[in-house]
Amino acid sequence: MAGFRREVSSLGALATFEAAARLQGFTRAAEELGVTQAAVSRQIKLLEDELNTALFLRGHRKVELTPAGLTLSRALTGAFDQVSEALDTIRRPAETKTVTVAATLAFTHFWLLPRLPAFRAAHPEVQLRLVSQDSGFDLRRDTLDVLVHYGRPPVDGARCLATLPERVFPVCAPDLAGQSLETLPLISCEWTEPTWMGWRRWAQRAGMVPMTRRSALRFSQYSDAIYAAIGGEGVALGWQALVGMHLEDGRLVRLGEAEVVPDEVNMLLVPVTRRPGKAAQVFIDWLVTAFERAQT
């Protein structure tokens, strides 16, 4: 450690650089660290002076890592992950039965919650903590045991244990099933994640005539859009995994035969830096089986 301290005088500068590299910006790093952007810039400049090399290319609106910065970032990310895991192990009892599970609001609402009673009946000893948000998670930063993420593998800091593919097609209330997509009001969602599909991209991927008309109803949450479709307000895009139960119980019907199979899938992810505890492994095994059953 004494030799390491002779190489770099400020561990804080390394922590600041790691945050800026991971978040791809000085402003975001400042927000995470609770300091000013100027303080972040000073720390990184200090580190660059000590190393006698540039770590970032500064642009007008963004910064990019230099080759040297990329090398240091990769090393620090792995080292900080190990430190974070060690601290987490110290803070939490080894045999904790609480499993922290993260997913989007829509996946939690439509897919996970309806299936949880079966899991809880089979494993009443396992305590679950569900974290739902659409702004994304980072297994290198967030303290999670299991993450269900919609995207493409690989994912930084994660191992993918199972996938659940999707199909996307129009859905509406049964009373509207006799009408066409061209005549029904469109219901859309203001996605925060660019990989999630809207009407225009869906029509393009489905090989249909370009869709230029505006949506009659727009929602910030996918669950609201689906319930509007159930209420007969128009037609929404249905993700098979999310609306499958509503199709089975007849509250929604598929409109037409056109569909798109996205390149993205629902992935069951776990951190690469931490082995699941006993309770987490029980939930993971159940979720793998549930993913398999949902595809039969």
Select from 3.30.56.10, 1.10.760.10, 3.30.70.640, 1.10.10.10 the CATH code of 2-91.
1.10.10.10
Superfamily the domain 168-254 falls into: Periplasmic binding protein-like II (3.40.190.10)
Q: Which residue, chain included where needed, has tokens 């690469």? A: 272
- Whole-number pLDDT of residue 258: 95
* Gap between the Cα atoms of 41 and 291, Å rounded: 46
**Helix or strand or coil: residue 271?**
strand
Residue 7: its pLDDT value, please? 56
Identify residue 138 by its one-letter amino acid code: D
pLDDT at position 90 = 65
Whole-model pTM above 0.85?
A: no
Q: Please state which of the four CATH numbers 3.40.190.10, 3.60.15.10, 3.20.20.70, 3.40.50.2020 is assigned to the domain occupying 98-163+264-294.
A: 3.40.190.10
**Predicted pLDDT of residue 190:** 84
**DSSP assignment of 248-275:** HTTSSEE-SS--B--S-EEEEEEETTS-
pLDDT for 2 equals: 46
pLDDT of the residue at 1? 44
Task: Report whether 87 contacts 59 (CB < 8 A).
Answer: no
Given a cut of 70, the residues of the chain with pLDDT beneath it are 1-9, 85-86, 88-96, 192
* 123-145 tens-digit pLDDT: 999 999 999 988 888 887 788 99
The three-state secondary structure class of 295 is coil
How far apart are the C-alpha atoms of 236 and 52, rounded to whole Å?
A: 56
H helix or E strand, kind and range, residue 164 = strand 158-164
